[in-house]
Chains A and B, each alone.
Chain A
Amino acid sequence: MDNTVIDAHNISKIYNKENIPVYAVNNVHLHVEKGEFTALVGPSGSGKTTLLNLIGGLDLPDEGSITINGEDITRMSPNELIDFRLKNIGFVFQSFNLIPVLTAKENVEFIMQLQGIDLGKREQRIHVLFDQIGLSDKLESRPSQLSGGQQQRVAVARALASKPKFILADEPTANLDSQSANNLLDIMYKLNQEEHMTFLFSTHDQRVIDRAKRVITLVDGRIVSDTASQILPA
C-alpha cells in the first residue's frame, strides 16, 4: 500500500524572472509519507515558507510537480485548489489567525460548515477535537479571552476539523511561551502517535526540532540535509 502523502518532484519557485532570477525554492525533491512528523529548518530566507506554500497549494511552482495523496495539484485551477485544500490540508499559522468574532467552538465548526457537514456530526467532532486539545471548558470563549497557547491549540483543532491528509504548520510555536509551546507540541505529537496524523512544520524552534522524527534543512532554497537520508541534492 502506497503511504505517500506528499511527493514534490524537482520543484522550483523563481522570483524576478525577467531581471535577475531569484530561486526561493531550487529544484527540491521531497517525499513525505503518512504519519511523519517532519520539521523544515533553515535560516530566514532559506525558502521554508515558500516550500510550505507550494506544498499547501497556496502558490504554484514555476518548475516541477507536486502530488498530494496521488493528485497533481500543479494542474489544478485556483478554485479546485481551494476545494482541495479544504478537504486535504490543515493549516496552522504562526499568528493563530482565529476569526475574532467567533467563539473557539465556532472557529472549529467554521471549517466543517465550509465542508457542508451536518450539525449533528459537527457537534460530535467538535467535542472529540476539544477533548484532544484539552480545551473542552473553553468552547464558548472568544479568541480574545484565550491565551496565545490556547488560541494555537484551537487553531490545531480547526486544522484537524476537516480530517485532512496532513497538517502544514508555519512556525506554530514562534509566538508562544515555553510551557504553551510544549503543551502544543505534546498535543501534536500525540495526534501523530495515536492517529498517525502527518505533520510538516517550518520552524526555528529547537523544541520542535528535538521532537521531530525527521528534520530537513533548507539553505538558499535547496535541501542541504535530511535526517531521513532522503536527500536528493540538485
Chain B
Amino acid sequence: MWIVQLAWKNLWRNANRTMITMAAIFFAVLLSILMSSLKTGIFDNLIKDMVGYYSGYIQVHQAGYWDEQLLDNCFEEDPEIQRKIRSHSQVKDISPRLESFALASTGELSKGCLVLGINPVQEQSITHLQEKIVKGRYLGSNDRGILVSEGLLKRLKNHVGDTLVLFGQGYHGSTAAGKYPIQGVIKLGSPELNDKTIVMPLALAQDLYSAPQMITSYVLSLQDTDDLMAIQSSLQQNLGKSYEVMTWEEMMPDIKQHIETDSANMKYVQAFLYLLISFGIFGTLLIMMAERRYELGMLVAIGMKKSKLSILLLFESLFTVIVGCILGILASIPLVFYLHKFPIRIYGEGAKAYERFGFDAVFPTSTDYHHFINQGIVVLMIGLILSMYPVIKVIRLNPVESMKK
C-alpha cells in the first residue's frame, strides 16, 4: 500500500509534466473514442439506410432469384413457409414483397423506377416506412394509391394527388401497365433509393404485374443482427433447397466492401493515433528516468529491492495512463451522445460526393459502450507495455553508475 501512496506522490513531484502527459492521453482517448464511434455510427447509418429501409437484414427468395431477378422467378405466398420462418427464435417479423421495375411517366417526363409491392402493416414492423412519409399519407392494404420517393417525385415534377403511369413487363411476359394516384411522398435515407422508388400495396403490385398471390421475397427483421450467418444457415436448413436465404451482405456486396475498406483505412488512422500516444508516454518515461537516475541508484543502494522499485515505477506510469484514460472516457461520453443526437452533416459539394456513392452525408456517432471500453483498454495496454521501459532500466540499474555525478 505504501508503494501505491509513494507512486501517487511521485506523480506530482513534477506536476506540469504529469499534467501534460495526462492531457496527451486524455485527448488521444477522446479522439480515439470519437473516431471509433463515428466509424461505427456512419456504417450503422449506412446499413440502416440501405438495409433497414430497403433490403432487410435477411431475405428469402425462390432458389436462383438473386442471380436472375425476374418476375418469372417469383413464388407463391405460402403460410407454411411463413410459419417455418417465424418459428426461428431470432426472427422478429417478416413481410412479403413483390419487387420489380417499371417505367414511370407523367406528362412528357419518364424515368425507370423500382416498384415495391408491400404489405403496409407487416412492412411497417420492418422498415418503418410510415416514418418516412414527408407528404400525404401512408398506405392501407386496400388503397389504390402509391408512395413515391422524394427524389423521383422531383424529377417527374409531380405532387401528391397527381397521377403516375407505370409501364413494364409483367409475370410470364405479360404487359404491366397502370395509372396510380400519388398518395404520399417518402424520403429514403439512401439517395440512390430516394431517386427511384415507388411503393404500393402488395395486392396492387400483384395486379399490375399480373402475378396474383405471387411474391419475390420475404423480408425479415431480426432480434439480433450480430450473427447473421448462423441465422441464415439455420433458416436455409429449415426451408430446404427450393428457397435461397440471403443476408444483406450477400445482396449488397458493394456496401459490405465499402465498409470493410473504410474500416481498414480507419484502422491506419487509429494506429497513427496510438503511435502518437506511445511517443507521448515514452517521452515522459525517458525524461523521468533520466531525471531520477541518481535517486533510483540511491534507493537501490540503501536497500530497496529492484522488484519493489519496478512496481513503484509501474504504478506511476499506470496512474498517469489510467487517470488520462478515465478523464478521456468521461469527456467523450457527452460528446459522443451529442453527436449521436445531432449528427455531423455535410452540405454542398461534399454532400454530393457522398450521395454519388449512394448514401446520405450524415455522420452520427454510435453510442455502443464497447467504444468507450475498447479504446480505454487499448490505451491502457499501450501504457502497460511502455511501462516496461522503466522496469527494464531498473533491472539493469547499477547503483554506483547511477549515483555518479
- Contact present for A85 and B301 (CB under 8 Å): yes
Q: Beyond A101-B12, A101-B13, is A114–B399 a contact (Cβ under 8 Å)?
A: no
Q: Which residues of A contact B308 (CB under 8 A)?
A: 114
User: Please, which residue of chain A has its CB at the minimum distance from the CB of B405?
Assistant: A95
- Contact present for B303 and A114 (CB under 8 Å): yes
Q: Which residues of A contact B302 (CB under 8 A)?
A: 85-86, 91, 111, 158-159
Q: Output the residue of A97, A100, A159 with the most chain B CB within 10 A.
A: A97
State A86–B10 Cα separation when bound (angstroms).
22
Q: How many A-B residue pairs have CB under 8 A?
A: 53
Could you say which of B9, B10, B12, B305 contacts A83, with CB atoms under 8 Å apart?
A: B305
State A93–B2 Cα separation when bound (angstroms).
24
B80-122 near A? 1/0 per residue, CB < 8 Å = 0000000000000000000000000000000000000000000
Q: Beyond A87-B303, A111-B303, is A58–B400 a contact (Cβ under 8 Å)?
A: yes
State A82–B301 Cα separation when bound (angstroms).
7
Interface majority SS on B: helix, strand, loop or mixed? helix
Q: Which residues of A contact B9 (CB under 8 A)?
A: 101-102
Q: For chain B residues 7-24, which have a beta carbon within 8 Å of chain A?
A: 9-10, 12-13
State A89–B12 Cα separation when bound (angstroms).
31
B300 contacts partner chain A, Cβ-Cβ < 8 Å = yes
How many residues does chain A have at the interface if contact means C-beta atoms less than 8 Å apart? 26
Q: Which residues of B contact A128 (CB under 8 A)?
A: none
Whole-angstrom distance between the Cβ of A162 and the nearest chain B Cβ: 7
User: Please, which residue of chain B has its CB at the minimum distance from the CB of A92?
Assistant: B302
- Contact present for B400 and A53 (CB under 8 Å): yes
- Contact present for B301 and A56 (CB under 8 Å): yes
B229 contacts partner chain A, Cβ-Cβ < 8 Å = no
User: Please, which residue of chain B has its CB at the minimum distance from the CB of A93?
Assistant: B298
Q: Which residues of A contact B12 (CB under 8 A)?
A: 101
Name B residues whose Cβ lies closer than 8 Å to a Cβ of A.
2, 6, 9-10, 12-13, 294-295, 298, 300-306, 308, 399-400, 403
Name A residues whose Cβ lies closer than 8 Å to a Cβ of B.
53, 56, 58-59, 79, 82-83, 85-87, 89, 91, 93, 97, 99-102, 110-111, 113-115, 158-159, 162
